[in-house]
Amino acid sequence: MSASHLIDCYARSFIQVAINQGYDLQTILEYSGVPVGTPADQHKQSFNFTELLMLSRQVKSLLKNQFCELTTTGGRPGFIELMLDLALSAPNLEQALNKAFRFYSVLSPNIQFTLVEEGELVAVQQEIADSSSEFCHFLSEWWTLVMWSIASWLIGEKIDCIRFEFAHAPQISEHEYALALGVPCQFFQPKARFVFRKEYLHKPVIKEAGKVDEFLFSACRFGEIPGTSEPIKLRLANFLRAYFMDHKEFPLMEYAAKQCELNSHTLRRRLSEEGASFNQIKEDVRRVVALNLLADNSKSICEISIEAGFSDTSSFSRAMKNWTGFYPSEYRSRSIEKAPARQSETEH
């Protein structure tokens, strides 16, 4: 359930971006405070999450560009702060994101974000004007995660994504992406985006204007990769999702507790302190898996009910009605009616 491989991948990208802009390894080391090996050693060098954040901040500061000079326009220092100040004036997340994206489109036209509604789901979708850079994939993934972090910060809670989609090939194994991010990740898709339940859009913006700097410079907020410093309920959810994707069933609580480096009694107590329970988290994971499977129109309702771990379609239908207010076929029909045309994977 470690995000270490993805952290290493991003850290090395930041280092290489600075090198490509003419900075040597010693300068990067002195400026960021992060030990940086020789080019020959970097492919096997490991970084922790704090070091990744230090490299992110300091390379951007070194280059005086939030996009690390990977786009032809935009990314000047200060534009993120202005965007957040504007977003904080909105009453709810939907209006906050739309304000932020309009502002973003003016100051950074090379990277665009839009809200796309698809039935009971919504996606924050990204488009990069120039995808020719060797670091385009890194830029796309990093700023998708940053936008997820920003949206979660605005409402004061982590947005529970249904899935991530990226237009390129995975930089590490798809399984490791799922372990790091806690939800399925699909590649070779038309656009980079993260998908979540539409109900989040109506949640109120709760952050205060004076807290922008705190967010931007907090080592556990800006650009955070979930799975590295999570409450125990989120660590457990990440593990259960990955386990379920591999085994199509949930492990016993004793086994899950061991993976979280706890005993079952301590895990139960910690979850209770965070207002959660083992069964509730299993139910949440099953819901996310089921909703993601319903997006695949090639699968029948019967196949999905089995893959989501239900004994029969009747049980699945009752669960879907309870989760969304719709039976599986109704939910799928509503999503298809409102979804934009999508390219097939074979077209890539």
Report phi then psi at 73, rounded to 5. -140, 165
Q: Is the whole model's pTM more than 0.75, yes or no?
A: no
pLDDT value for 74: 55
Q: How confident is the model at residue 225 (pLDDT cuts 50, 70, 90)?
A: very low
Look at 84-98, 171-185, 297-311, 331-345 and tell me which has the smallest mean pLDDT.
Answer: 331-345
Q: What is the pLDDT of residue 331?
A: 81
Identify the DSSP state of 204: B
Mean pLDDT computed over 41-66: 74
Percent of the chain's residues with pLDDT above 90: 22
Q: What angle in degrees, to the nearest 10, is found between the helix axes of 49-63 and 25-32?
A: 110
Taking the C-alpha atoms of residue 206 and residue 93, their distance in angstroms, rounded to an integer, is 10
| Interval 125-148: pLDDT, tens | 998 876 666 678 888 898 898 889
Residue owning tokens 């299993």: 282
b/e map 271-290, b = 16+ CB within 10 Å: beeeebebeebbebbbbbbb
User: Using 50, 70 and 90 to split pLDDT, how confident is the model at 335?
Assistant: low
- How far separated are the first and last CA of the chain, in Å rounded? 30
Q: What is the mean pLDDT of residues 29-51?
A: 70
Q: Are 73 and 67 in contact (CB under 8 A)?
A: no
pLDDT category, 117, cuts 50, 70, 90?
very high
Residue type, 87: A
Q: What is the dihedral of CA 314, 319, 322, 327, to 10 degrees?
A: -50
Supply the mean pLDDT for the chain.
79
State the sign of the Cα–Cα–Cα–Cα dihedral 296, 298, 302, 308.
negative
Least confident residue range of 84-93, 235-244, 265-274, 275-284 = 235-244
Query: Comparing C-alpha atoms, which of 239, 230, 223 is closest to residue 10?
Result: 223
Listed range (144-148, 187-191, 209-213, 231-235) with the worst mean pLDDT: 209-213
Higher pLDDT, 145 or 60: 145
